[in-house]
Amino acid sequence: MSPALPRFRASFPAGALLFALSIIALLPAALHAQQKDNWNAQEQPIFDQIKTLRSLADDERARTTKTLALEIRTLPSSPNKVKLALYLASRATEGDFGNATLREVATTLAEALRQQPQAEENGKPAAAYNELAQLARYEHMQVSLDDPQFAAAMAKLQADDERRQSANFTLTDLQGKTWTLKDLKGKIVLVNFWATWCPPCRKEMPDLDALYQRFRDRGFVILAISEDEETAKVAPYIAEHKISYPILLDPGAKVNDLFQVEGIPKSFVYNREGALVAQSIDMRTQKQFLEMLAQAGLQ
């Protein structure tokens, strides 16, 4: 998952839009403009290691993430320390790397913010506070930070969740079938936001498909919403990878905006009564998805 990215509108040519999104997805927005020579001799190796995390096996990635969190904590207070802590946090939720690892990441980010408070961004909490709030609310990390921006970020997450509880949408899938969320009451529904250019999205899709095949006869539905992509881009990818669950198109990212999705992948699970009972802020493993579905009564 990455922090909030700039919203690109339809005035961009489609090809340019997809290329721009593929590039931006590689780095959090807070780091996108950071040039190599802005890091000092201590910071540069940490930055380089964070960039390679996605190439590591999960067990090695967990160990490396924890080590990097501890290394960042030893750095002197600076704006770059916050940026590194934020970058690491944005990568630490892309899978299941253990509570101990996430705890170190959250502690490092909170400490960096205590040492170097960040200015608001357009009157809203800075990205680092939003990331820390998500770790606290959705990954259940204990966070100690007495800061009005962190409190505001936590309040916004609560308001977003209340909005998602009553959210409804109607979208069309690649086969032309129309799906309305509220019409699926009585089924367990997983709403997944993704895009073809998003590496963590692609990584979790086989696990989602396996769960769909396993539980579809028990009333389990996946609605995977492609973030503002066209059929010509999405359909070949789905056919190539033999994904069997419904893939919906969201022109203009209107449903994305309705759900306040600022980074993908994200997933939301609704139980048979239509209540939102679980959600993820990033990529999940099959085990993690099973834990989410168990909260909806599906085991």
pLDDT in tens, 194-205: 999 999 999 999
**Domain extent listing, the chain:** 34-161, 170-294
Q: Which residues contact 41 (CB under 8 A, 6 or more apart)?
A: none
Instruction: List pLDDT tens digits, range 127-144.
Output: 999 999 999 999 999 999
CATH code for residues 170-294: 3.40.30.10
Its pTM stands at: 0.83
What pLDDT is recorded for position 56? Answer: 97
Q: How confident is the model at residue 37 (pLDDT cuts 50, 70, 90)?
A: low
Cβ atoms of 200 and 230 closer than 8 Å: no
Q: Is the pLDDT of residue 77 over 60?
A: yes
- CB atoms under 10 Å from CB of 259, counted, come to 20
Q: Residue 235 has which token pair?
A: 């359909």
Range with the lowest mean pLDDT among 16-20, 174-178, 204-208, 246-250? 16-20
Average pLDDT over residues 6-14: 33
Token pair, residue 139, equals: 């990954």
How many helices (H) and strands (E) would you count in the chain? 12, 7
Would you state the pLDDT for residue 197? 95
What's the pLDDT tens digit per position in 141-179? 999 999 999 999 999 999 999 999 999 999 999 999 999
- Give the model confidence (pLDDT) of 83-115 as tens digits: 999 999 999 999 999 999 999 999 999 999 999
Q: What is the pLDDT confidence band of residue 29, given thresholds at 50, 70 and 90?
A: very low
DSSP state of 220: E
